[in-house]
Structure 1
Amino acid sequence: MSDALNKLTILIVEDENDTRKLMHEILKDEFHAVITAQNGDEGLKKFKKYNPDIVISDIAMPIVDGLDMTAQIKQISPNTPVVAISAHSEKEKLLRAIDVSVDKYILKPVDMDELLGVLEIIAKTKIEATNITELAKGYSFNKTKRVLIKDGKEIALTKKELAFITLLIKRLGTVVLHDDIKNVVWIGESVSEAAIRTFVKRIRDKVGPDFIKNAPGLGYKIDVDL
């Protein structure tokens, strides 16, 4: 298992069952978690739910194609790397892949050794290189260790509190909706919005009152500049 990959979660979006199962079987031994989806619509929903570190997507898929899904993912999380795979190399598709900020384009049939090499490079250059997110006013976040730091000191957070902070930092400057927060922080659990408000208040007591911004009736965000 690669040290660059074993702490990461990857989302595979592929409508061909055999290809999807093969990729899952190989990548499950390399990644911390592997999530799969059968089309772009399901892929976008699972991206919002699981907040993966890397996305692999076929281009030609029913309901929502891979490039339309990528465009929406990049709006939510511009820094999340997306690898597009396709049986076609037409100039139009390549140009569109560039337009939606695909990070790498691989032709089918996929050579799994080549894919693993690409994923390791992406993990090292695009994820490890941005390991520390500098926020503002003395705050920073270590993505690998998943630690929030203020004025050089780590802030002790529970598992749920850390999941919440990690989600907001991955979508820095963007309002994260209540439903997305519930799906990531309270997977499979029922939680009221009143309970979420109490939860956020407890975090603010630890990190400072101005770190987490409230968007009334919608959700929460962390601004780029505090």
Structure 2
Amino acid sequence: MRENLSEYTLLYAEDENNVQAKMNEYFESYFKAVYSASDGQEALELYNRYMPDVVILDINMPKINGLEVARRIRKEDAGTRIIMLTAHSEKELLLQATEIDMSKYLIKPVSPIDLKQALDKVATELISTPNKSAKNRLEYTIDKEGLIFKSKTLLELSKSERRVLGLLIKNIGYSVGYETFFYDEEGNTETNNEASLRNIMVKLRKKCPDLNIKNIKDVGYIAYCQE
């Protein structure tokens, strides 16, 4: 399993410092890179900045709980694999997460065997998905302000272009539906019809020639890394 995960990145969110430090050492032996967060807000900031392949969340964290972090990730990202950690006393909260596509739910304290099985499952899912290693081939990063960089160079994009490109990058290799482009969490966006969205895609194809952006009829758009 180690070799199967060695090309992928992990975001690990845990508010207990001693537990986080111990687990970081364990995860670093498996993943290409490990990003650590101590609360839900920091987890979302690191997710938006590094677009990790795997996210492991404690369901009960300060500022924003793990369940809400998972919801926000899933709203725009179908590809990142999510593992949720929960205590026995949080089972009712966990029931609220059944509609979220997660790879595994683990009850704390997590046994080494259960954790290994969860990582094995994630490795299998990553290998079998069409965007295997796609994120690692991208040279794009998104900072906490939503600005997008290519090879550490800031891309000159409008607000609407940033939002659309961000959705494509986070879902590289997966289709993004029209409704996701049209409406943000507040229910509004400047990208409010197919004509304006097509215009944005034309501009992004010119500004990002290394992305193969295609339209899927009656569905939305998908972006691939150019081989």
Query: Which TM-score band applies after superposition, normalised by the shorter structure?
Result: 0.5 to 0.7
Quote the Cα distance in structure 1 between the aligned partners of 2:120 and 2:62: 29
Structure 1 range deviating more: 37-46 or 87-96: 87-96
Spell out, residue by residue over 1:35-65, the C-alpha distance to the aligned partner (whole angstroms, 9 max, x if none). 1001111101100100000000001111000
Pair 1:80 & 2:80 matched: yes
Matches within 5 A, 1:102-181: 102-124=102-124, 126-130=125-129, 132-133=130-131, 143-144=132-133, 162-164=138-140, 179-181=146-148
Percent of pairs with identical residues = 31
Matches within 5 A, 1:43-82: 43-82=43-82
SS at match of 2:148: helix
SS at match of 1:31: coil
Quote the Cα distance in structure 2 between the aligned partners of 1:25 and 1:107: 20
Quote the Cα distance in structure 1 between the aligned partners of 2:211 and 2:107: 46
Pair 1:8 & 2:8 matched: yes
CA spacing shift, 1:120–1:90, aligned 2, 3 Å: same
Q: Which runs of 5+ in 1 are unaligned?
A: 134-142, 148-158, 169-175, 214-221
TM (norm. structure 1) is 0.65
Count of residues in correspondence between the two structures: 177
1:23 corresponds to? 23
CA spacing shift, 1:43–1:177, aligned 2, 3 Å: closer
Matches within 5 A, 1:35-50: 35-50=35-50
Residue 96 of structure 1 deviates from its aligned partner by: 1.1
SS at match of 1:56: strand
Q: Which runs of 5+ in 2 are unaligned?
A: 163-202
SS at match of 2:41: helix
SS at match of 2:64: coil
Residue 212 of structure 1 deviates from its aligned partner by: 7.6
Quote the Cα distance in structure 2 between the aligned partners of 1:110 and 1:13: 15
The one-letter amino acid paired with 1:163 is E
The one-letter amino acid paired with 2:41 is D
Is this contact kept in 2: 1:48–1:180, CA < 8 A?
no
CA spacing shift, 1:199–1:67, aligned 2, 3 Å: closer
SS at match of 2:73: helix
Residue 113 of structure 1 deviates from its aligned partner by: 3.7
TM (norm. structure 2) is 0.65
Structure 1 range deviating more: 65-74 or 81-90: 81-90
CA spacing shift, 1:62–1:112, aligned 2, 3 Å: same
Is this contact kept in 2: 1:71–1:101, CA < 8 A?
no
